Amino acid sequence: MARITSARVIVTCPGRNFVTLKIETDEGVYGIGDATLNGRELAVASYLEDHVIPCLIGRDAHRIEDIWQYLYKGAYWRRGPVTMSAIAAVDMALWDIKGKLAGLPVYQLLGGAAREGCMVYGHANGSDIAETIERAHEYLEQGYKAVRLQSGVPGLAATYGVSGERFYYEPAKGSLPDETLWSTSKYMRHVPELFARGRDALGWDIHLLHDVHHRLTPIEAGRLGKDLEPYRLFWLEDATPAENQAGFRLIRQHTTTPLAVGEIFSSVWDAKQLIEEQLIDYIRATVVHAGGITHLRRIAALADLYQVRTGCHGATDLSPVSMAAALNFGLSVPNFGIQEYMRHTAETDEVFPHAYSLSNGLMHPGDKPGLGVDIDEALAAKYEYKRAYLPVNRLEDGTMWSW
Ligand code: KDG
Ligand code: MG
């Protein structure tokens, strides 16, 4: 028995906002979990403070599954990103506690290492194709085995995935959401050229990925997948919004380019049809937005039956706590595919000291008991929360579109 004595939410902004839950026990051991939901951070903080924390006090921190079920079924209002991020934070913190009490890294509790490390992909973003390729070369030089290529589209002022910063990509900004313009036809003409030139310059020994960011219809996505077939992508991500899971049938009928989806999914129910009908190849659900390690394992177990592999979301809005949890999960899960990795800023890394490391394109969670990540609360307190929004997107005639 490790009785939960207190829990609190820590909101900090070391370059961007993060919400962290810290759970303390009467065993003198604490655990932390990430609860960051980009652009809606305080909704999760309030859900935790006002509704979840009172239910945790006095419970046995060892009973991870029971607490998960209690929070999921007990809310009556199931699923959704706010609820599932809050449950995820509790779940991560409990696994952290269990690992610390056992004196083992969490991956050992999940069955041990199933591989030497987790292959990650980096982000090569450029305002044009030449700049994207230049940045991709930098990843190759650092030993990365996989790179995502995104480039500015001629005729569009701003494009998803492209930022002025060299290694960081941070789309959330202050005051009100930025509005950007989108043209499917300009984009569809441009992307095959990006990959043709990308393959020419980078060769065939590197995995190349691309994120469409939900901008196409299924038939357009089928066309793009077909146009990209000669360049053998590792995956085409979020080709179309996935609320209509059956929509992916149309894409599948037209292309053999592997498909990834799910960074905004909050539970296995968002992916059930996609997985069971083998409409995707990689599931991108993450530890923080999909109910923690406990629920992500359930999603991965279903996916494994259908040869769908994991490819967890890992943008900078997922804190180092999520990254540590993702790597403990990724190292141990049988059907691991790849892990996204966007470097955090030095300020973020200082607030969240961590044991994970990158070497030769593979990441390892380290061997510290628990998740292998901590929070420096005194430092975190110096960075006050700043409201920030993700952008919105419109077609050139003003119609609202998916960002
Ligand atoms: O918060 C939103 C970002 O995490 C998202 O836009 C990044 O699409 C993304 C990705 O693939 O990392
Ligand atoms: Mg994405």
Per residue in 159-201, pLDDT (tens digit) is 888 876 666 677 888 889 999 999 999 999 999 999 999 999 9
Closest Cα to atom 4 of ligand 1: 315
Closest Cα to atom 9 of ligand 1: 315
Residues 160 and 82 occupy one common structural domain:
no
- How many domains is the chain built from? 2
Please indicate, yes or no, if residue 387 is contained in any of the structural domains.
Answer: no
Residue with tokens 């303390």: 24
Put simply, whether the predicted model's pTM sits higher than 0.85 gets the answer: yes
Domain housing 8: 4-107
Contact 371, 92 (CB under 8 A): yes
Q: What is the pLDDT of residue 158?
A: 84
Q: Is 3 helix (H, G, I), strand (E, B) or coil?
A: strand
Closest Cα to atom 5 of ligand 1: 315
Paired residues of 80 in beta bridges = none
- What is the CA angle 30-36-37, rounded to 5? 155
DSSP string for 215-253: -S-HHHHHHHHHHHGGG--SEEE--S-SSSGGGHHHHHH
Q: What is the pLDDT of residue 53?
A: 98
Question: For residue 313, which atom of ligand 1 is closest to its CA?
Answer: 12
Residue 403 DSSP code:
-
Instruction: Give me the active site residues, please.
Output: 160, 213
Q: What is the pLDDT of residue 8?
A: 98
Residues 244 and 159 occupy one common structural domain:
yes
Q: What is the pLDDT of residue 382?
A: 98
Question: For residue 316, which atom of ligand 1 is closest to its CA?
Answer: 4
Paired residues of 114 in beta bridges = none
Closest Cα to atom 2 of ligand 1: 38
Residue 291 Cα to ligand 2 midpoint, Å, equals 19
Q: What is the pLDDT of residue 170?
A: 78
Residues 102 and 164 occupy one common structural domain:
no
Please indicate, yes or no, if residue 374 is contained in any of the structural domains.
Answer: no
| Distance, CA of 125 to CA of 196 (rounded, Å) | 16
**285 is written with which tokens?**
């659900």
Number of Cβ atoms within 10 Å of the Cβ of 49: 16
Residues 344 and 359 occupy one common structural domain:
yes
Q: What is the pLDDT of residue 168?
A: 66
Residues 276 and 347 occupy one common structural domain:
yes
Residues 26 and 37 occupy one common structural domain:
yes
Binding pocket residue ranges, ligand 1, CB within 6 Å: 38, 171, 211, 213, 263, 313, 315, 317, 340, 390
Residues 86 and 117 occupy one common structural domain:
no
Residues 237 and 150 occupy one common structural domain:
yes
Residues 85 and 137 occupy one common structural domain:
no
Ligand nearest to the CA of 318: 1
Q: What is the pLDDT of residue 48?
A: 98
| Residue ranges in the chain modelled with pLDDT below 50 | none
Ligand nearest to the CA of 121: 1
Instruction: Outline where DSSP puts E strands in 86-242.
Output: 118-126, 146-151, 179-182, 207-211, 235-237
**42 is written with which tokens?**
């305080």
Residues 304 and 282 occupy one common structural domain:
yes
Please indicate, yes or no, if residue 269 is contained in any of the structural domains.
Answer: yes
| Distance, CA of 313 to CA of 340 (rounded, Å) | 6
| Distance, CA of 35 to CA of 54 (rounded, Å) | 17
| Distance, CA of 224 to CA of 27 (rounded, Å) | 55
Ligand nearest to the CA of 313: 1
| Distance, CA of 86 to CA of 82 (rounded, Å) | 6
Residue 160 Cα to ligand 2 midpoint, Å, equals 9
Closest Cα to atom 7 of ligand 1: 315
What is the best residue among 212, 234, 313, 316 to mutate for testing ligand 1's pocket, by most ligand atoms within 8 Å of CB?
313
